[in-house]
Structure 1
Amino acid sequence: MINELDEIYIQKVRVKAILGLYPEERLNPQDFIVSAKLYLDLREAGKSDDINHTVDYDSLHRKLAEIANESECLLIEKLAELCAAECLSHALVQACTIKIDKPEALELADNVAISIYRQRQ
């Protein structure tokens, strides 16, 4: 089914958030990067040229940033689930992939990231 759907990408939404297990991670906001890939049918939007037939990605990227900035989760996995739920709350979105980068997480590596895929039941 996913192969038959179109995709909208929201890439590299930069946020600062309290996120992490360790006490030092809970003191000051860290930099995170949230990206989303939305799977939906865009044919009607292409025909109608009407925003009601697609996802308002400006509003969605702001909502993803708000979720990240306010969440104070312990795990990036939890933040990814919250972001996926927001994406799937849009009626046209059939599935999504959420990627969260935590560039300050590891001392000897440039980045750690997770990616989750969620679809409507």
Structure 2
Amino acid sequence: MSTSQAIINISDLRLRTFIGFNPDEMEKMQDIVINVEIHYPAEKARLFDNVADALNYKDVTKQIIHHVEEGRFLLLEKLVDDVLKISHQHPWVTYAKVKIDKPHALRFADSVSLTLAWQRD
């Protein structure tokens, strides 16, 4: 990775959505915790301090929030893939990784999580 690559981390974005296929999961929203890592070339942004040269992480986060809160998902895999697609849709993105935790999904565990990553060819 060159020194001009920026890494944006959106950490512990806590949202509620319908996730799961058990009857109770389909009837009530559950908490999820989202972590996103986005890489993009930031040489111009770092050299010239121009907002137009930076990836707008607020816009990405708003799209994620809207998609998650308005959606219904049977599988964690689908939810993670959807958030990953939102995370790398900007043409500047060279790499993205998404991890989503479903707290209290298992009786004796704090959380169950799934991670997917994408890299531009």
**TM-score clears 0.5:** yes
Distance 1:105 1:60 in 2: 27
Q: How does 1:24-103 map to 2 (within 5 A)?
A: 24-103=24-103
Work out the CA distance in 1 between the residues paired with 2:23 and 2:50: 48
Q: Which amino acid aligns with 1:81?
A: D
Q: How many residues align?
A: 119
In structure 1, how many angstroms separate the alpha carbons of the residues matched to 2:12 and 2:41?
Answer: 23
Q: Structure 2 unaligned runs (5+)?
A: none
Shift of 1:54: 1.8
Superposed CA offset, 1:94-117 (max 9, x none): 110001010021111111111111
Cα offset, 1:58, TM superposition: 1.4
The Cα shift of 1:31 comes to 0.3
Corresponding residue for 2:120?
Answer: 120
Taking the aligned partners of 1:38 and 1:112, their CA distance within structure 2 comes to 22
Amino-acid identity (%): 26
2:103 aligned partner, one-letter code: P
Contact 1:19 1:29 in 2 (8 A): yes
SS at match of 1:80: helix
Supply the distance in 1 between the matched residues of 2:67 and 2:30 (Cα, whole angstroms): 14
Is the CA contact 1:31–1:104 (under 8 Å) kept in the aligned structure 2?
no
Q: Which runs of 4 or more aligned residues in structure 1 lie more than 4 Å from their structure 2 counterparts after TM superposition?
A: none
Amino acid at match of 1:113: S
C-alpha contact 1:9 1:37 (8 A) present in aligned 2? yes
Query: What is the root-mean-square deviation in Å for CA atoms of aligned residues?
Result: 1.2
Q: Which has the higher strand share?
A: 2
Shift of 1:63: 1.4
Unaligned runs of at least 5 residues, structure 1: none
